[in-house]
Structure 1
C-alpha cells in the first residue's frame, strides 16, 4: 500500500503547509495530554476550563454581559467545580439571539475564521465559528480517533455521504481533492436506499476494500441486508465501520458486524465542536488512584465512548426519566468563539473511569425512512440536501391515510420559498410531495415527552 502511505507522509504535510495549518503538532500535543495519568489530567482540564471562562468574561461581548449580571467569578471553578452550574445552559435559541456577540470582535478581521452551520437535527440550523487553532484541533482529534480503532498511515478510508444535486463549485472540488489525497480518503455518494444505489455503494467497497468505512448506521444496515439477501460474499471487505450522524442501535451494530465480519465503532460529534467522544478498540493502560471501578478494558467491552477531554468539558444534566440526561459541552480550545455550557440537544450519561471519562451511548434524534415515488430515502439524506443551501432551518414529513405525503419546511427567510420549491423538485421530481411552509412551532411532536420526529403519522 505504497500510494496511501505516501499520501499520509508526503501529501498531508504539503497540504498542511499550503493551507497554513498545523495539525500534526496538535496530534502530538493531544496524545501527550491523553498519556498523562487521569488524576493529573483532570486537574489540568479544570484549569483549562477556568481559563477559557475567564477569557470569555473579559473578551467576548455576550459572556461579558452575562457574567456581569451573574457576578460570576471563574476562579471559583478551581475551588469547587459545582460553581460552574451558576452559568445558565446555552441553547441554540440563545446562540441565534447572540449572533456575532458570541465571537471575539477582532476575530473576523484578523483571523481566517471557519464558519460551519449546524444541520438542524436538534433544533434550528445556525452558524458556528472556529478559529484556525480550533480548526486544527478538530482535525487532530479526527486523526487520533482513527488511531483508536487501528487506522494507520498505509490504510484507506471510505466515507459515505449524501449525493447532492446540482454542480459543485470548482474551488470546493479542488479543496475536496486535497482532503482526499492527504487523508487516504475515498468519498462515495448515496442518494437513497434503492437497489441501484446500494449496488453502486457495494461495488465501490468491493473495488477499494478500505480498512475503514464511515457513514450513517442506517445506510450500512440497509447495505448489510442487501448483500445478505443476495448471498454476496461480504466478510473481509473492510475491517472497521465508524458510525456517525445517527444513534447506533444494538440491532444495527450486531447485523453490520455479523454480515461484514468487521468491528463497529460508535462516535459522537457535531458541527459545534467536531468529534467529542469516540469508541476505542485499544484502551490505554489501567490506572489506580481513582475511586472508579471502570477500567479502560471495561469501557471498551461496554462500548463506552471516550471523551476527548483535553479539548472539551462534558456534563450531563439531571434526567427526569431513565439514566441519560441532556448533554452539555464546553470547548476548551476555541477562544475566538467559545461555547460555554452549550446544550447539544442530545442525551447521554458521563461515566468517570480510572483512565478517562466516557459517554455511555448517545440518545438523540432518530432518523426515519420515507417512501417517495417507490424509492426509500433516509431523512438524514433529506437533511443533508436541504441544509446545503442554508435556506431551511428544519423539516418534517407528515403522512395521513389516503393522502399524499406532505413535507413541512421552516425557512430562515420566507422570501426563499420559490428557491426551496425548486430544490425539492430537483431532488424528488415535480409534485412528488406536497409542500407546506411553516414555523418551527408548527412541527408535530409525538409521545409522552413530546419528542421531535422527522416523519409523523396523523
Structure 2
C-alpha cells in the first residue's frame, strides 16, 4: 500500500481518535467558497455580528468596554459600518487584560495556547478552544488545495533540529502526524555547506510534491544548489513560503533553480493562516474571509493590517492591530493583501557556524521559561543573548543549557522587557540588533 493511500485512510481515523472535527469543516469551507459573492458577504456580516454580541455577553473586557463607550452590539446586525466604533485591540492590551479577554462560557481547562513570534512586540499568549483550532486546521488544508496539493500528497516540512534528544512521547506523536499527513520533516540548523548538501540529498531521495519552509532557508539552498548543480533540478513542484516575508529576489531565485511554483501565505498565532496566494508567483494574497474580517489603518507611508477573528469564541479578538504593514486591496469584490512588511529573520554567527534567528527562536521556545529574547553580535563569532524570563523560570538551569549548546560563543544577560532594544517603524522589535559587526556579517 502506498504512503499516499495510507495517509488518505489514516487521516479520518486519527481525527476521530483525537476527537477532532477538521474534515467536516473543510467541506464547509469548500461549500462556502462556492456561494455567490453576495451570499458570502451576508453570511460574513452575520457571523461578525454574532461574534461581537457573544463578546459583549461573555467576555469581561468587551462587556466593560462596550458599556464605557456606549456601544450597542444589536446595531451591528443592521449597520456593519458601526463596527468601526469599537477601539482597536493591541498586543499590549492583550497582555494587560489577560484572562479578562477569555469568554466566561468556555472550558478553560481544555484551551490550547499559542505564542506570538514577537516580531511586532513582546510575545503574547493566545488561547483557542477545540472548535477554533479545528477551523485553523481546516483552513490550512483548504488553501493547500490552491497549490494543487491533496491532503495525502507527499510534503516536506522544514523544521529546526533540536540539539538534545526529544522525549519519546513527542517523537511518537510527531511520527504519527507525519504518517497521517504523508509528511517528511527535514531538520535544519545552520547554513554551512554540509548542512545544505544534506538537505538537498533528502529532497532528492523523498521527491515531495510540495515543500513548506522559511523563504530565507530555501533561498540559501537555491544559491548553494546553483553553485553545485550543472543544470537546475526539479526536486519538488511547489514551494509554500511561510514564517517570514518572501521578497522578489528570493522568489525568483527559488523558482529559477528548482523549477517550481511559488505560493505565499500570511498567518500568525492569533488567527492561523488568513491569506494565501491563489495562483503561483502571485504577490497578492487572498484574504480568507470565512476566518477573519479584514481592515487596514493608515500608518506613516503604509497601512497596518487589522483583523477580527470570526472563529475563536474562546478569545475573540476584535479589530486587532497585527503590527504588520501591508496594503489591503479589493479586486472583483475579493480582498487581497499585498506589499507585506512583516517578520524578517536575520543571520547570526556563533563560532564558525551561521544560524538563522528563527532556528534560535525554536530552540529557546522548546527550552521554555523564556518570554522573549534578543541577540546582539558583539564579535565576529560571538553574541550577547538577552533573555526575558517567565516568573517560574530557573535562570541557573537555562544558563547551563545555553552554555552546553554554544559555550563561550554566547554571553547571557537576563533583562526585563524595557531593556530590549527597538528599531524602525514604531520601535518595531527585532531578534537581532544590527551592530556594525552584524552588518559586516550580513554583507
TM interval, shorter chain, is over 0.9
In structure 2, what is the equivalent of residue 317 of structure 1? Answer: 297
Partner of 1:268: 266
Aligned to 1:39: 38
Aligned to 2:334: 356
Q: Is the 8 A contact 1:165 1:426 kept in 2?
A: no
Which of 376, 382, 391 aligns to 1:398? It is: 376
Q: Do residues 83 (structure 1) and 82 (structure 2) align?
A: yes
Question: Residue 406 of structure 1: SS of its match in structure 2?
Answer: strand
Moved more, 65-74 or 417-426: 417-426
Separation in 2, partners of 1:370, 1:76: 52
CA displacement at 1:444 relative to structure 2: 2.4
TM superposition score normalised by structure 1: 0.89
Q: Secondary structure at the match of 1:266?
A: strand
Structure 1 residue matching 2:153: 3-state secondary structure: coil
**CA distance in 2: counterparts of 1:103 and 1:363, whole angstroms:** 30
Deviation at 1:120, TM superposition (A): 2.3
Deviations 1:153-177 (A, max 9, x none): 5520000011123332333223222
Contact 1:62–1:98, Cα closer than 8 Å, also in 2:
yes
List alignment gaps of at least 5 residues for structure 1: 282-299
Distance 1:302 1:173, change over 3 A: closer
SS of the equivalent of 2:286 reads strand
The answer for the alignment partner of 1:250 in structure 2 is 248
Kindly state the Cα deviation for residue 82 of structure 1 after the two structures are TM-superposed.
Answer: 3.1
Q: Secondary structure at the match of 1:201?
A: helix
1:308 to 260, 271, 288: 288
Moved more, 202-211 or 70-79: 70-79
Q: What are the residue-to-residue correspondences of 1:46-85 with 2, within 5 Å?
A: 46-85=45-84
For 1:137 and 1:23, how far apart are their aligned partners in 2?
7
> Relative to structure 2, which stretch is displaced further, 149-158 or 219-228?
149-158
Q: Determine the C-alpha separation between the residues in 1 that align with 2:306 and 2:424.
A: 24
Give the TM-score taking structure 2 as reference length. Answer: 0.92
Equivalent position of 2:348 in the other structure: 370
Find runs of 4+ consecutive structure 1 residues off by over 4 angstroms: 400-404
Shift in CA distance, 326/342, structure 1 to aligned 2, threshold 3 Å: same
Measured after TM superposition, the shift of residue 269 of structure 1 is 0.7
1:405 partner SS:
strand
| Structure-2 residue corresponding to 1:155 | 153
The change in CA–CA distance for 1:448 and 1:137 in structure 2 (over 3 A counts) is closer
What is the distance in 1 between the residues matched to 2:252 and 2:381?
A: 37
What is the CA–CA distance in structure 2 between the aligned matches of 1:331 and 1:410, rounded to whole Å?
Answer: 29
Q: Which residue of 2 aligns with 1:207?
A: 205
- TM-superposed deviation, 1:80: 3.5
SS in 2 for 1:344: strand
What does the per-residue CA deviation read over 1:306-360, in whole Å, with 9 as the maximum and x for residues that have no partner?
1111111121111221xx3112211111112222222222111211121521111
Q: Kindly tell me: are residues 87 and 153 of structure 1, through their superposed partners in 2, closer, same or farther at Cα, counting changes over 3 Å?
A: closer
For 1:178 and 1:409, the matched residues in 2 are separated by 34
Query: How far apart, in 1, do the equivalents of 2:164 and 2:322 lie?
Result: 31
